[in-house]
């Protein structure tokens, strides 16, 4: 139902799922379940769920479908793919997927097996992978908080996230909440006083998009006041002197007017608290990757961990056991010439180039190729677990691109607005219908949990099976990673078979710390590299930099009079995961409508009362939300919910053009030079009261 991680008992009777309850001994959730998990039965048995392959019978987006067999659907899809690839080459096919599911690496492996260079997913440039890639280059690995260790952190610094609600990256919100409660000091950097921030020691309500400036000021304080871990820096950090010299201009006094924070009471104090309360955890969220410059922000934040010595120590940010023997992604299967054809790979080396952690295409460039044929025409798009019209900026242009393809296939649970545009909708299996090994937290892989298929609903099949059948028909070498022998292969390092893991439920790797003392860090120097050579190639600088976002009251004073507020479009709620869950009755009752959070002073200035409908307008578009008046937000900021569509709306678009936050965003340059990231937050906006009825109908 989300990134996963909660252990649960599934109760089955006569082949039907009858109940779900949290497993009391599960390592992360310890018996608790969030509303999404409790709604699993509603997903599995929902009357509108797609249960058989559907083939379009009318015009694209017309809502007319015919039920067909898997044999008919897959034979036709494979035949059309084979024809397109023979005529135009494998680059005429592209894949899209959502975030963090069991089939994630299989999509990459399947694309490589076919020689297809272009796979996109929203997180490649906008969520998680920038943090992972920067960490890999600086530390040689990706660290995550010591959730299961015996030593509590003295300080937890949450930057640009709300982990007690979102439970990101396989970390689980319950574990994040426990971590915050046991720390002596908690600091949250967020324009909103989120659920995480409401119980913290210090809240820094930063101006959206200025995170790099604040991180640079933290570094300045810690270095100038000699609060860094001198012994760790001396023995395990490279380029410290050069880095320190480059940080000298970035004082708290410099950062204060940029960030909207007080130099002494907020910036300097927060930096001192983080540096002097060790061990410390820096829990960074995707907000730092959605304002257009994640490379510099992630670089600066990663340096904070390094100079304070909080890496791989009990209660700190630790490197994982990597206990899963992962299936290879078949990079070698794609010819070198096709790698060179990856859209955006030549411009954004950390997204699609050889320096990328996971090589993905640049989404705006892919949609442009669909529409214009430049540099070549992409004619087929296969989507696994992604509602593309809600997931990417400028959805009007995305829809034009999707409609221009010769073949569009979507695997999903429901007829989403994206699926309604397809030639085929394939019925995806829900999590109780899939066998898999779930490795958590993401990248670290300290815990392996058994995900077991306990029911079968209609003709629903897991995405890995779909790819395996297409591979068979296309006569390419691809083995799904959740095939029984592959599940055993993935568990080799534990000495367990999948059947044995199912009996146990999970496997927890023993905690090991300071692993670098025996083998060094996994970098060319075997140390933490503050200025990796590849960073110099991208930036020609020895330190991160702050650059004012291209669309703010500072950079665009000419537009600020008409659009005086700053927009955040990424608000997540516990009841939903991205655009999922809107069809489930219990979740809609709890969170029935998309909201825009507005400060009371701002609402009064615009004549907006609690619960009024408001139109949020940007330079790029407009969308309608229900006003939620709250003092827990900066007065110059508006925060809107992400991922909304309305399954109950009978038209095939299901109301996706009403409250879709991405109607307010744009996919045009400038992009981050390393990742090709675009701007989803920190945009200029205004609000208008709307005397209209709610965009939704009452949920059952």
CB 695 within 8 A of CB 624: yes
Q: What is the mean pLDDT of residues 205-215?
A: 98
Residues 158 and 287 placed together within one structural domain of the fold: yes
Has residue 425 been placed in a domain?
Answer: yes
Nearest of 53, 56, 47, 48 to residue 67 by alpha carbon:
53
Beta-bridge mates of residue 637: 566
What's the pLDDT tens digit per position in 343-365? Answer: 999 999 999 998 999 999 999 99
Q: 300 near 259, Cβ under 8 Å? A: no
Among 184-193, 422-431, 568-577, 681-690, the range scoring the smallest mean pLDDT is 568-577
Q: What is the pLDDT of residue 539?
A: 85
Is the domain of 466 the same as that of 348?
Answer: yes
| 697, pLDDT greater than 50 | no
State the CATH number of the domain containing residue 199: 3.40.228.10
pLDDT band at 699 (very low <50, low <70, confident <90, very high): very low
Q: Which of 48, 59, 52, 120 is nearest to 421 (CA)?
A: 59
Query: Which residue, chain included where needed, has tokens 């034009």?
Result: 400
Q: Strand order of the sheet with strand 280-284?
A: 202-204, 185-189, 155-159, 280-284
Question: What are residue 615's phi and psi, to 5 degrees?
Answer: -100, 125
**Structural domains counted in the chain:** 3
Each residue's pLDDT tens digit, 654-664: 999 999 999 99
Helix (H, G, I), strand (E, B) or coil at 337: helix
Q: Indicate whether 696 belongs to any domain.
A: no
The β-bridge relationship of strands 16-22 and 8-13 is antiparallel
Q: Is residue 629 part of a domain?
A: yes
Residue in this structure with the two tokens 């534990």, named with its chain if needed: 494
- Among the listed residues 199, 114, 46, the one whose alpha carbon sits nearest the alpha carbon of residue 470: 114
User: Strand pairing partners for 439?
Assistant: 448
Length of the chain: 700
**Position 550 in a domain:** no
Q: What is the pLDDT of residue 328?
A: 66
pLDDT band at 692 (very low <50, low <70, confident <90, very high): low
CA distances 142 to 120, 145, 305, 442, Å, are: 22, 10, 12, 9
Rounded to 5 degrees, what are φ and ψ at 59? Answer: -75, 155
Question: Are both 427 and 447 inside the same structural domain?
Answer: yes
Question: What pLDDT shows up at residue 330?
Answer: 66
Q: Output the pLDDT for position 306.
A: 97
Task: Please work out, in degrees rounded to the nearest 5, the angle formed at the alpha carbon of residue 680 by the alpha carbons of 674 and 684.
Answer: 120
Both 305 and 386 in one domain: the answer is no
User: How many Å apart are CA 426 and CA 420, to the nearest integer?
Assistant: 12
Same domain membership, residue 639 and residue 581:
yes
* pLDDT at residue 391, rounded to an integer: 96
Q: Same structural domain for residues 284 and 329? A: no
Residue 565, strand partner residues:
685
Cα→Cα distances 275→22, 232, 290, Å: 37, 13, 27
Pick left, alpha or beta for residue 209 (phi over 0 → left; psi -120 to 50 → alpha; otherwise beta): left
Read off the pLDDT of each residue in 158-187 and give the average, rounded to a whole number.
Answer: 91
| Residue 18 binned pLDDT confidence (cut-offs 50, 70, 90) | very high
CATH number at residue 608: 2.40.40.20
Residue % of the chain over a pLDDT of 90: 90
Task: Indicate whether 301 and 357 sit together in one domain.
Answer: no
How far apart (Å, rounded) are the C-alpha atoms in residues 398 and 412?
18
Are 330 and 466 within one domain? Answer: yes
355 and 284, same structural domain? no
What pLDDT sits at residue 340? 86
Does one domain contain both 113 and 163?
Answer: no
Question: Same structural domain for residues 289 and 383?
Answer: no
User: Can you read off the two tokens belonging to residue 524?
Assistant: 């060319």
- The rounded distance, in Å, linking the Cα atoms of 472 and 464 is 12
**Rounded to an integer, what distance in angstroms lies between the CA atom of residue 270 and that of residue 159?**
12
End-to-end CA distance of the chain: 21
Question: How far apart, in whole angstroms, are the C-alpha atoms of residue 389 and residue 407?
Answer: 17
- The torsion angles phi and psi of 321, rounded to 5 degrees, stand at -80, -20
CATH number of domain containing 464: 3.40.50.740
Does a structural domain hold residue 552?
no
Mean pLDDT of 215-228: 98
The DSSP bridge partners found for residue 325 are none
Based on the fold, state whether residues 166 and 303 are members of the same structural domain: yes
> 3-state DSSP helix/strand/coil percent for the chain, to nearest 5?
35, 20, 45
Mean model confidence pLDDT for the chain = 95
Burial label for 689, CB within 10 Å (0-12, 13-18, 19+), is middle
Show the domain range for 364: 8-126+325-508
Structure tokens at 212: 């790099």
> Residue 218 corresponds to which tokens in the numbers above?
């933290």
Q: What is the DSSP string of 360-400?
A: ---HHHHHHHHHH-SSS---EEEEES--HHHHSS-HHHHHH
Per-residue pLDDT tens for 534-574?
999 888 889 999 999 999 999 999 999 999 999 999 888 99
Average pLDDT rounded to a whole number, residues 512-520? 96
Exposure string of 591-600, with b = 16+ CB inside 10 Å and e = fewer, is bebbbbbbbe
> Which pLDDT score, from 0 to 100, does residue 332 have?
64
pLDDT of 643 above 80 = yes
| 173 against 636, higher pLDDT | 636
Q: How many CB atoms lie within 10 A of CB 47?
A: 6
Is 329 a residue whose pLDDT tops 80? Answer: no
Lowest mean pLDDT among 65-74, 209-218, 393-402, 570-579: 570-579
Is 15 a residue whose pLDDT tops 50?
yes
- pLDDT tens, residue by residue, 284-320: 999 999 988 999 999 999 999 999 999 999 999 999 9
Q: What is the CA radius of gyration of the chain?
A: 24
Q: For residue 2, is it within any domain?
A: no
Tell whether the torsion through CA atoms of 117, 479, 324 and 436 is positive or negative: positive
Q: Is 695 within a domain?
A: no
Indicate the helix (H) or strand (E) that contains 489.
Answer: helix 484-490
DSSP E strand stretches across 522-630: 528-529, 565-571, 595-598, 613-618, 622-629
Of 43, 41, 33, 47, give the one whose Cα is nearest residue 16. 41
Q: Check whether 700 has a pLDDT greater than 70.
A: no
Q: Mean pLDDT throughout 463-474?
A: 98
Note whether residue 700 is domain-resident.
no
CA distance linking residue 407 with residue 381, whole number of Å: 6
């Amino acid at each position: 139902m989300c990134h996963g991680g909660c252990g649960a008992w599934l109760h089955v009777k006569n082949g039907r799922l009858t109940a779900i309850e949290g497993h009391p001994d599960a390592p992360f959730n310890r018996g608790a379940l969030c509303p999404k998990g409790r709604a699993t039965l509603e997903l599995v048995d929902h009357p509108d769920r797609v249960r058989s392959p559907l083939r379009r019978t009318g015009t694209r987006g017309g809502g007319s479908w015919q039920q067909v067999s898997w044999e008919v659907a897959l034979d036709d899809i494979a035949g059309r793919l084979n024809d397109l690839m023979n005529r135009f080459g494998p680059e005429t096919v592209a894949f899209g997927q959502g975030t963090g599911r069991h089939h994630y690496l299989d999509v990459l492996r399947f694309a490589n097996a076919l020689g297809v260079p272009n796979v996109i997913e929203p997180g490649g440039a906008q969520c998680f992978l920038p943090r992972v890639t920067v960490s890999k280059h600086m530390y040689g690995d990706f660290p995550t908080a010591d959730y299961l260790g015996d030593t509590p952190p003295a300080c937890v610094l949450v930057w640009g996230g709300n982990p007690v609600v979102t439970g990101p990256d396989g970390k689980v919100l319950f574990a994040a909440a426990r971590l915050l409660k046991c720390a002596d000091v908690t600091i949250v950097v967020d324009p909103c006083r989120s659920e995480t921030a409401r119980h913290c020691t210090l809240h820094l309500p930063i101006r959206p998009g200025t995170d790099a400036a604040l991180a640079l000021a933290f570094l300045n304080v810690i270095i100038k006041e000699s609060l860094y871990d001198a012994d760790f820096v001396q023995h395990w950090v490279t380029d410290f002197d050069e880095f320190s010299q480059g940080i000298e201009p970035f004082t708290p006094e410099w950062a204060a007017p940029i960030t909207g924070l007080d130099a002494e009471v907020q910036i300097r104090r927060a930096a001192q608290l983080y540096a002097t309360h060790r061990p410390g955890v820096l829990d960074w969220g995707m907000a730092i990757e959605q304002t257009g410059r994640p490379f510099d922000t992630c670089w600066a934040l990663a340096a904070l961990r390094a100079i304070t010595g909080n890496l791989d120590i009990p209660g700190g940010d630790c490197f994982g056991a990597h206990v899963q023997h992962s299936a290879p992604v078949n990079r070698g299967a794609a010819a070198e010439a096709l790698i060179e054809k990856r859209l955006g790979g030549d411009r954004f080396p950390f997204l699609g180039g050889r320096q990328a952690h996971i090589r993905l295409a640049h989404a705006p460039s892919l949609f442009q190729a669909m529409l214009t044929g430049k540099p070549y025409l992409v004619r087929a798009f296969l989507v696994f677990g992604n509602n593309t019209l809600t997931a990417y900026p400028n959805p009007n242009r995305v829809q034009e691109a999707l409609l221009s393809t010769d073949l569009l296939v979507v695997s999903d649970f429901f007829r989403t607005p994206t699926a309604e545009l397809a030639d085929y909708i394939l019925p995806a299996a829900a999590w109780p219908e899939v066998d898999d090994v779930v490795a958590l937290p993401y990248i670290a892989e300290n815990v392996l949990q058994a995900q077991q298929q306990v029911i079968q609903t209609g003709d629903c099949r897991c995405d890995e099976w779909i790819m395996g059948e297409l591979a068979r028909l296309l006569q390419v070498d691809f083995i799904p990673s959740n095939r029984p022998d592959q599940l055993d292969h993935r568990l080799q390092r534990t000495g367990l078979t999948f059947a044995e893991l199912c009996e146990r439920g999970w496997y927890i790797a023993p905690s090991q710390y300071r692993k670098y003392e025996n083998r060094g860090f996994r970098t060319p120097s075997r140390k933490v590299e503050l200025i990796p050579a590849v960073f110099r190639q991208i930036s020609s600088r020895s330190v991160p930099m702050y650059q004012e976002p291209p669309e703010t009251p500072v950079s665009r004073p000419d537009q600020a009079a008409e659009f005086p507020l700053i927009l955040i479009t990424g608000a997540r709620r516990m009841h939903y995961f991205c655009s999922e869950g809107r069809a489930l009755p219990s979740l809609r009752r709890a969170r029935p409508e998309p909201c825009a959070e507005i400060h009371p002073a701002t609402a009064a200035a615009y004549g907006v009362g609690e619960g009024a409908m408001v139109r949020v307008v940007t330079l790029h578009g407009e969308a309608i939300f229900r006003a939620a008046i709250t003092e827990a937000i900066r007065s110059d900021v508006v925060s809107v919910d992400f991922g909304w569509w309305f399954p109950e709306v009978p038209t095939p678009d299901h109301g996706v053009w009403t409250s879709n936050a991405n109607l307010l965003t744009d996919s045009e340059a400038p992009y981050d030079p390393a990742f090709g990231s675009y701007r989803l937050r920190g945009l200029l906006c205004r609000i208008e009261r709307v005397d209209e009825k709610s965009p939704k109908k009452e949920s059952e």
